[in-house]
């Protein structure tokens, strides 16, 4: 919780707009909370069986320890998500692993993981699958398909800040 909360101030702009993790000003992250959180997870991991919460904290710690987004140890995050999927399989974990795989090994690898999620009823009306697919398609340079998925995700979410963010992402990809 400390590691997630350490990023609170950087998650939104002055207008309340969402700022994705990769674009956050890491200087606004709380270093004391990061130090305490990483210390707790570092101490907890070797003491007993690892559960889903420890793995989630370890993933958050890897993000928090990177001084810049491009310094993130994505292969380590992929490995942690694989472990988490083994302990607590669910489509959201797979969705997050797909992002990590895309960041570590390219968008095509992440998109391949999404294919199996298309048929999962637990994601049928959830905006996260088209939002992630849109992001990975944008990374792959497939702007038309990406734009369509951003728009679909915006229609599916009930969060106004998320709707604005997703619509803005789609608009950036409009051919001018």
* Contact indicator for 29, 64 with CB cutoff of 8 Å: yes
Instruction: Return per-residue pLDDT of the chain as tens, 176 residues.
Output: 999 999 999 999 999 999 999 999 999 999 999 999 999 999 999 998 999 999 999 999 999 999 999 999 999 999 999 999 999 999 999 999 999 999 999 999 999 999 989 889 998 889 999 999 999 999 999 999 999 999 999 999 999 999 999 999 999 998 86
CA-derived radius of gyration, the chain: 17
Q: Work out how many domains the chain is built from and give that number.
A: 2
User: Is 54 within a domain?
Assistant: yes
Q: Pick from 58, 114, 49: which is nearest to 87 by CA?
A: 49
The CATH number of residue 112's host domain is: 1.25.40
Same domain membership, residue 101 and residue 63: no
Same domain, 114 and 169: yes
Which of 72, 102, 127 delimits the end of a domain?
A: 72
Are both 43 and 98 inside the same structural domain?
A: no
CA angle 138, 68, 5 (to 5 degrees): 95
Q: Would 127 be classed as within a structural domain?
A: yes
Q: Give the number of C-alpha atoms closer than 13 A to the C-alpha of residue 173, restricted to the C-beta side.
A: 22
Whole domain around residue 173: which residue ranges?
Answer: 94-176
């Amino acid at each position: 919780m400390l590691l997630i909360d350490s990023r609170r101030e950087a998650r939104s702009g002055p207008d309340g707009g969402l700022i994705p993790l990769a674009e956050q000003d890491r200087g606004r992250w709380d270093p004391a909370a990061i130090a305490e959180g990483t210390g707790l997870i570092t101490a907890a991991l070797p003491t007993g069986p690892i559960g889903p919460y420890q793995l989630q904290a370890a993933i958050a710690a890897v993000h928090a320890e990177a001084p810049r987004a491009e310094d993130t140890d994505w292969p380590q995050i992929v490995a942690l998500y694989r472990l988490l999927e083994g302990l607590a399989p669910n489509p959201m974990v797979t969705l997050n692993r797909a992002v990590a795989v895309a960041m570590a090994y390219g968008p095509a690898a992440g998109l391949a993981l999404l294919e199996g999620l298309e048929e999962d009823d637990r994601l049928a009306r959830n905006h996260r699958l088209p939002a992630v697919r849109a992001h990975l398609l944008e990374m792959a340079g497939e702007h038309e398909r990406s734009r369509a998925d951003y728009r679909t995700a915006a229609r599916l979410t009930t969060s106004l800040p998320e709707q604005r963010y997703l619509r803005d992402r789609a608009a950036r990809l409009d051919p001018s």
